[in-house]
Amino acid sequence: MERKTLTTTKRTDFRKGVNRRLRKEGKIPAVIYGHTEPRAIALDELEFNRKFHYMSENMIITLKTEDRDYDVLIKDYQEDVLTERIMHIDFFAIDEKSELSARVPIHIEGSAAGVREGGILETYLYELDIQCLPKDLPDNISVDISPLEIGDSIHVSDLEVPEGVKLLHEDEQVLIHVSHQRIEEEEVEEEELEEGLEGEEGLEGEEVEGEEEEEA
């Protein structure tokens, strides 16, 4: 996995309003914790936005401080919902010799045969919780859905994971399923249409009978 590097500066002023001033200066307040003493830092916002187009929990980042480097994962962040600007980041310092827990995306490959036959592809999980050493941390876990026919499913036990990676899910958990939903919906719509037509015919019959009684 490719590792990206960020330059940081130390934060020592924790008075009220300081973080707001940092943001005006183009900095992102952050903290490092985990396998180290907690450290308050600031990142250059332009550098961060240039190198990271999205936030990922399974990307190892090297933070360069004034006295040492830290290999970290993003554990949490705060974002302005209106401007989409990152307001604060929590970094978790990892130990290269200790296993870590992370969440990685599922990468779907191919097109399910059952979908081409009118089925619906239902995805129940988009990410997987895993455990591994930092050196074994994958970008994603791929699953080929090409063989799936209508009614078929892919379970956790069907996945092929890289060596050294442990999945933190039950083997029988369903990830992807190709259902008959579209066919079932069409049948329901046809039944409702037939019931509607029968109801209209019944009303027409009642109206004719009513007219005949009035003429009599």
21 DSSP 8-state letter: H
- Res 215: pLDDT: 53
Q: Which of 138, 137, 41 is nearest to 96 (CA)?
A: 137
β-strand 4-10 against 61-64: which pairing, if any? parallel
Domains and CATH numbers, the chain: 4-93 (2.40.240.10), 100-179 (2.170.120.20)
- Res 187: pLDDT: 58
- Res 53: pLDDT: 87
Q: Are 190 and 173 in contact (CB under 8 A)?
A: no
**Digits of tens for pLDDT over the chain (216 positions)?**
668 999 999 999 888 889 999 999 999 999 999 988 999 999 999 999 999 988 888 889 999 999 999 999 999 999 999 999 999 999 999 999 999 999 999 999 999 999 999 999 999 999 999 999 999 999 999 999 999 999 999 999 999 999 999 999 999 999 999 998 644 555 555 666 666 655 555 555 555 455 555 555
- Res 177: pLDDT: 96
